[in-house]
Amino acid sequence: MDREIPALMGVSKAILENVIFVHQDESNWPLQDASTLKKKFDDIFSATRYTKALEVIKKLHKEQAQEIKTFRLKLENLQTLKDQAYRLHDNISQDQDKSDALKIQMEELKTNIQGVENKILHTEKSLTDIRRLQGEIKSISSSRSTWIIQQEQQLAALSEENEDTDDELKEWQTKFEERMALLETKISKLERDMNDEDTKNSSLSKAINDLTGEIGRLQAEADAHVLVKHERDSTIRKIFSQHTLGPIPDAPFTDDVAMHLANIIKAKLLNLNNDLQDKKKSNEEHKQFLWGRYLEASTRYSELDGQVLSKVESKKNISGRMEDKESERDAAEKELSKYNLPRIDEKERNLKIEVERKALALKERNYDSIIATKSTEIVNLVQKIKPLQRQKDNINSDSGDRALLDLQKDNLEESKKKLKKIVDEHEDKIRNVLKGRLPSHKDLKKEISQAFGFVDKEYNDLNSKSRDAEQELKLVQMKIHDARSHLSKLRKELDAKRSIMEWKLQTITKISADINMFPKLLKDAMEERDKQKSQFNYAKGMREMYEPFEKVAREHHLCPCCQRAFTPDEEDQFVKKQRSTCASTAERMNMMALGCSSAEDYYQQLNNLHGTYDEHMKLGNDTIPSAEKNLKQLLVDESEKAQTFDDLVSVLAQVKMDRDATHVLLQPIDMIDRHIQKIQELVPAVEDLEYKLDCRGQGVKSLEQIQSELSPLERTRDTLNNEVDDLRDQQKRETEDWNNAQMAWRDIREEKLRALSAVEKFKKAEEDLVFLAEEKEKLTLDEKHLALALGLLSKERESLLQEYEALKERLDQEYDQLAERKRKFEKEIDALETHNGRIKVYLNSKKVEKLSKLQEKHSQLKSDLQKCEAKRKEKEVELNRSKELLQSQDQLKRNIDDNLNYRKTKATVDQLTCEIELLEDKSLSIGSLSTIEADLKQHSREKERLLSEYNRCQGTQSVYESNISKHKLELKQTQYKDIEKRYFNQLLQLKTTEMANKDLDRYYAALDKALMRFHSMKMEEINKIIKELWQQTYRGQDIDYISINSDSEGAGTRSYSYRVVMQTGDAELEMRGRCSAGQKVLASLIIRLALAETFCLNSGILALDEPTTNLDGPNAESLAAALLRIMESRKDQENFQLIVITHDERFAQLIGQRKLAGKYYRVSKDENQHSKIEAQEIFD
């Protein structure tokens, strides 16, 4: 309802409560104290709400300004990131171009390498062909030498060289072969018969040998059986004697006796095992008893130890609590040291007495009654002064015109003097600005304004150009800063690569190496590697030749190099030498392989640095000089732009001087123009006054009598006003002293409470510390007792543990001795069982009968063997006769065969000679071996050079690709993502926020200005209505009219203080405290009516509760007439409604007219004191 009713009635809640519906008790609020009046008017004007709105706008403006700073910082950060992203894109583009160029170069190098490889393949093929031909020539030559040697040997071996043809010799060879074939067939038959006899003899011999071996084996087993039985008897005798098992019979034992004695021994073992188990059980019981006592003592020890630890922990907790309490006590003591309780008590008593004294003094002075009395006297004096003042004004009407004429003439002369003075003071400046001209006074403003407009336009243009030049200079300086940073980064990278290269070179070469030594070191490493490889390949080839040499020497018995035949000793020495050389070569090959591998690793390590070296050289020879060149160009641009900027600044400074010189004249010119206008206004006014006075004459009257009556009254009034003001100031000072004394008394009481609280805290901390110290002492005593008991229990536990360990050691030793005796006995029984088992196995195998059978068979086989030997000797005699016959025929055949072989060998030698000549011709057609090898080396060097160039390009290209990947990876980071969009959005946000903030500033100024203007307009309207209503209503002569003064509490603020003043002639007095009760009621009603007239545009309701209270008859009638006029003027307003609550029937009759209302309502009480409302007709 609090929100709905003001909305439905079209006015604010403040208007409803303070203007429309006001209770009688609160109807005089316009003449209450200043704070109440200010609060009411602030509510009516909604000043607090508008002030809060302005504060909100101001706060929002401040927050937006802070956000603008933040956005600007973010924008600068995004600008930096954007520049970095651009640089990364540029780097990627440059690296990509260089990488593409290197790829093209690598493709060309790959084509060249392929061409060189084709040449190398062709050369290697030619070299392989010529070496193959030389190998074939060498092989055929070696074979030919062998055949020549064989030819010479065959020639030397011939008994006689046959001159027959080859066909004749072959025919002879065929006939001899037929005879020899028959003889050989007979010899073969005899040899087969002998072989059969040998086979039969060998089978018989083998059978005899097998039987002999089997008989020997069985005989050995029989001997072993006897030996085992003897060992069995010895073992039984030894066991019985060692363990005192009783008497035994004489050896040897029969099997039954031995079995009986073994059973006795096994029974003894069973008894030993039972004794051992009993001993073990008894030992465990003794040990378990002592161990239980030790565990019981350990348990008690652990309990006591836990109690000791608990006591220690409690002591630690108590110590911590004591430290906390000491800190609290120290803090309370420190806080207590700030207070002096006796001084505080004394100060409290003194302040209490002072407050009571000041309150009593203020009450005794009774300022309000004295001020009210003097105010009444002042009002009476004002009523006396007003008629005199009117008379004086009437008398001085003509004198006022003359005085006005004199004043106007003085003003005219003064204006002319000021005009001349200003023109004289600024004449030189005006001439300088206008190039020596001095126009008339009327044209000065026009000329100076045109000159200022021209120079101001020129200044603005130059200023704009200067700002642009400054921006360009700053941009170049930023680029220089970036270029210097980039150059510094490149130099640092160059130094880093140099340091890395030198460190790696020092690590690889083990010497102090400079980066400039890298090409030489790499070249030396490559040459050393090639040298090692060449030596290794040479040694490997030599080693591969040694093995074939040995094989040729063994197979052909001649030297593989010179084809000289070897004697057996020479051949052995040659092979021995080859083997020793091969062995030494193998060791040397391993060393050379190791050296070759080391050289290869050394070269590869240096070669891996080639990319870094290329990057270093590129940085030093290409990138850094380019960056330095770019920096120099930027410095030149900076110098040019700085010169341009300096020129603009110097011109701008000159133009600014001219502009300032012209601008200085604007204010004097405005003053000159104002004086000219004033002179133009004063001249007609002076002429009119002179004409008027000339027409009316100079009727001057004396004012001494009126002045003599008026002066004492005014002095008395002024004296009373000063006394009232002094009394009010004195009352205010004493009231402030009383308030200050009360505040000091309250402060000292609060300080006393804080001091007492600190004392309580100190005492409480002291008591807690004493209690905790007692607790700690008690815990210390308990800890000592527990520690003593713990020591005794520890000794008892240690003694029990030692007793247990001793008993355990003794019982374990006894048990081990008994167990060792048992183990020895078991071992002896195992040996006896082994003997018995072997004896039993031998008897079960029946090997005695088998031995006798085999001996009979052996004798039979010996007799068969003697018969076969006799038959073989007969066949052997016949075979020898046939062989002697074959040998005599074979000599002739061998001669024929040797001649045929000699001729065949000679033909082979001739054929090999031809083949060698053909191969030599082919070799000559291919070319010289040294020339082909030289070409091959040249092509290999060219290939290595091209490969090195290719690898260098590949390494450089990989570096560029790595840089591109790295830059792309950097661009994929979150900070560079959508940097353009983020930068644009941030810039848009910054600009929109700045524009919005400027709008807020304009809105703030506009609202502030509008509020102040609204307030002044409304106050003027309210005061106008109040003045009109007062003059229409008030019938007294002491107050001309009343008004509400609104004074600003500070320059440029929207807070006002209000006071109701009454105007009497030229005097203006504050109405509060100086008016009568009727005047107070009337003034309050008029102010409410004025407020309603001003603010109640949408609501025509006004309620007056007992408006005639304290009004005399004339004033009540005047009020009724004013209300009638208001009702008359608003009778056509549909929503107008005047509610009057009054006990004054005369007043009701005055305002109750039929043309304005049909009836009124009377409220009365019946005999039961019940209120009732009756509608009454209004009669004229």
Residue ranges at the known binding site: 559, 562
Dihedral sign computed on CA atoms, order 572, 576, 581, 585: positive
Is the sign of the CA dihedral 482, 486, 487, 491 positive or negative? positive
Buried b vs exposed e over 567-598: b needs ≥16 C-beta within 10 Å? eeeebeebbeebeeebeebeeebeebeebbee
Kindly tell me the sign of the dihedral angle through the C-alpha atoms of 233, 236, 242, 245: negative
- The residue with tokens 């040298």 is 531
CA distances for 546 relative to 201, 552, 568, angstroms: 51, 10, 19
Quick one: which of 878, 1032, 1102, 1034 has its CA closest to 15? 1102
Tokens of 76: 């600068």
Q: Are strands 1100-1105 and 1136-1141 parallel, antiparallel or unpaired?
A: parallel
| Alpha carbons 1106 and 1142: distance in angstroms, whole number | 5
Residue 1141: phi, psi to the nearest 5? -110, 115
- Compute the distance between CA of residue 1027 and CA of residue 1020 in angstroms, rounded to an integer: 10
Rg (CA), the chain: 72
Q: Which residues of 1107-1125 are buried (b: 16+ CB within 10 A; e: fewer)?
A: bbbebeeebbbbbbebbbe
The amino acid at residue 703 is L
Alpha-carbon gap, residue 71 to 63, rounded angstroms:
12
Residues 6 or more apart whose Cβ sits within 8 Å of residue 494: 616, 619, 620, 624
Q: Which helix (H) or strand (E) holds 1171?
A: strand 1171-1177
Binding positions for Zn(2+) are 559, 562
Cα separations in angstroms, 1167 against 783, 955, 1143, 1145, 1172: 98, 124, 20, 22, 11
Question: For the packed helices 34-44 and 47-157, what is the interaxial angle rounded to 10 degrees?
Answer: 60
H helix intervals, 246-337? 255-337
Q: How far apart are CA 581 and CA 357, in angstroms?
A: 136
Buried b (16+ CB within 10 A) or exposed e, 1129-1155: ebeeeeebebebebebeebbebbbeee
The β-bridge partners of 1138 are 1102
d(CA 433, CA 65): 42
Q: Smallest Cα–Cα separation from 1088: which of 16, 11, 20? A: 20
Q: Are 772 and 318 in contact (CB under 8 A)?
A: yes
Residue 1084 to residue 1111: CA distance in whole angstroms:
12
Give 598-605 contacts, CB < 8 A, sequence gap 24+: 599/525, 599/528, 599/529, 599/531, 599/532, 599/533, 600/529, 600/532, 600/533, 602/508, 602/525, 602/528, 602/529, 603/522, 603/525, 603/526, 603/528, 603/529, 605/504, 605/508
Among candidate residues 761, 773, 763, 783, the one with its CA nearest the CA of residue 322: 773
Q: How far apart (Å, rounded) are the C-alpha atoms in residues 396 and 402?
A: 10
SS3 per-residue string spanning 431-456: HHHCCCCCCCHHHHHHHHHHHHHHHH
Instruction: Please tell me the total number of residues recorded for the chain in this structure.
Output: 1180
1160 bridge partner residues = 1176
Element (H, E) at 85: helix 47-157
Rounded Cα distance, 1157 and 1151, in Å:
9
